[in-house]
Amino acid sequence: MTEETVTEPLVHIQNFRMDFGGNTVVSDLSFDIDRGETFGFLGSNGSGKTTTIRALLGIYKPTSGTLHINGREFRPEDGEKLGYLPEERGLYKAESVIDVMTYFGRLKGLNKRAAAAWSMEYLERVALTDKAKLRIDKLSGGEQQKVQLGVTIMNEPELLILDEPTKGFDPVNRRLLMEIIEAQKNAGATVLMVTHQMEEVERLCDRVVLLKDGKAEAYGTIAEVQDKYGGTVIRLEYSGEIPDSAHYEVTLRGKRQAELTVVGHVDEAVILRELVDAGVMVRSFQTAKISMDDIFVRVYGEQHEAAEA
C-alpha cells in the first residue's frame, strides 16, 4: 500500500485570541491557508483582520493560540519569502521611484543591477516608466500604491499578504492589479488578501473566512459560503402580488421586478409553481448564486448601521 502524502498548510491559525487591556479583539479564531491558494480574509472595519495579520507576523504577541507560517512562528529571517503590503503604505517619499525600488530590491537580496532592471520592467507594466525619476511624493496616491505593490512582489514571495491592495483604484487600474496578483498565484505564490471588493473575492479567491466581532462567522469555499447564506437568488419580472412563503425571502421588490433569496435547498420549480398558483404572472424567472457582495451586506449591514447611529 502507498501512503498518502499529507501537505501541511502554509498558514495555520488555531484558537487565536488577542486581548488589549480588558478588550478582546479576536476570540478563538482558527483557519488554514493551503499552499498555492488565494485566500480571502474578509470583515468590516474593526473586526480583527489587521490584528490577526500582525500577530501572524510577530508584530503582536498573541494572548493565546497558535499562528504558524511553514510550521513555525514567524521569524525575521523568514521575511525573504514574504511579501507584505500593509494598509498603511510606507515609502521614502523624498527619493525617486527607481531609487526607492532599487533600494528595496537590494534589501530583498537582489544586486543593484538586477533590482533596477526588475523595477524598470515592472514600471513599464503598470504604465509608470515616465515617472521613474520623479520623487515618490510627486506621484498620485494610486501611482504610489502601484510602486508599493511592486516593492512587495519583487522578491517572488512564497506568501503574499495584501491588505486592501486596490483601495482607491479606478476600474482600469483595479483590473491591472488583479492581473498582477493572478500572475503571482500562477507563479506559485500563496496569496492572503484582505479586501472589501467582493467582485475581487469571487474572481480570485479559492476560500474565504468572514470575521465578525473577532470570531469566524463563515469559513470555506465561495460555494460553501454562498450555500450557507441561501445559495440561490431568483430574479423575477412579474405582475401581481408575491405571496409570503417559507421557501424564499423577498430581498428586493419593485413594481415589475423582484429578487427572492431561496431558503434552504428547495427546488426552484417548486417556487415557480407556488407563484403561478398564487396568481402571479411570471414574465421572466432567472436563478443565480447569491453574490458575495449580498452576503457581505447581510453579515455586516446591521453592524455598519449601528456604527453610524
pLDDT digits (tens, 9 = 90+) for 233-250: 899 999 999 999 999 988
Decide if 161 contacts 152 (C-beta within 8 A).
no
Decide if 108 contacts 156 (C-beta within 8 A).
no
Decide if 100 contacts 147 (C-beta within 8 A).
yes
Q: Which of 298, 280, 209 is nearest to 240 (CA)?
A: 280
**Could you tell me where in the chain the CATH 3.40.50.300 domains are found?**
11-220
- What backbone torsions phi and psi does residue 175 show, to the nearest 5 degrees? -65, -40
Q: Which of 60, 73, 59 is nearest to 13 (CA)?
A: 73
**Could you tell me where in the chain the CATH 3.30.70 domains are found?**
230-289
Decide if 86 contacts 94 (C-beta within 8 A).
no
Exposure of 181 by Cβ count < 10 A (0-12 exposed, 13-18 middle, 19+ buried)?
A: buried
Buried b (16+ CB within 10 A) or exposed e, 109-126: ebeeeebbebbbebbeeb
| Domain 11-220 grouped into CATH 3.40.50.1820 | no
Q: Which of 169, 215, 159, 196 is nearest to 292 (CA)?
A: 196
Kindly give the parts of the chain with pLDDT less than 50: 1-2, 304-309
| Sheet arrangement for strand 11-20 | 23-33, 11-20, 64-69
Task: Give the DSSP H or E segment for 105.
Answer: helix 97-107
- What backbone torsions phi and psi does residue 62 show, to the nearest 5 degrees? -65, 150
- State the cell numbers at 167: 483601495
CA distance 177 to 280: 46
Instruction: Supply the pLDDT for residue 308.
Output: 38
Instruction: Supply the pLDDT for residue 307.
Output: 43
CA distance 258 to 262: 13
Pairing of strands 257-262, 82-85: unpaired
Decide if 218 contacts 228 (C-beta within 8 A).
yes
- State the cell numbers at 106: 537590494
Decide if 198 contacts 175 (C-beta within 8 A).
no
DSSP-derived 3-state class of residue 75: coil
Q: Which of 83, 54, 106 is nearest to 189 (CA)?
A: 83
Q: What is the CATH number of domain 230-289?
A: 3.30.70
- pTM listed for this prediction: 0.81
Instruction: Supply the pLDDT for residue 86.
Output: 84
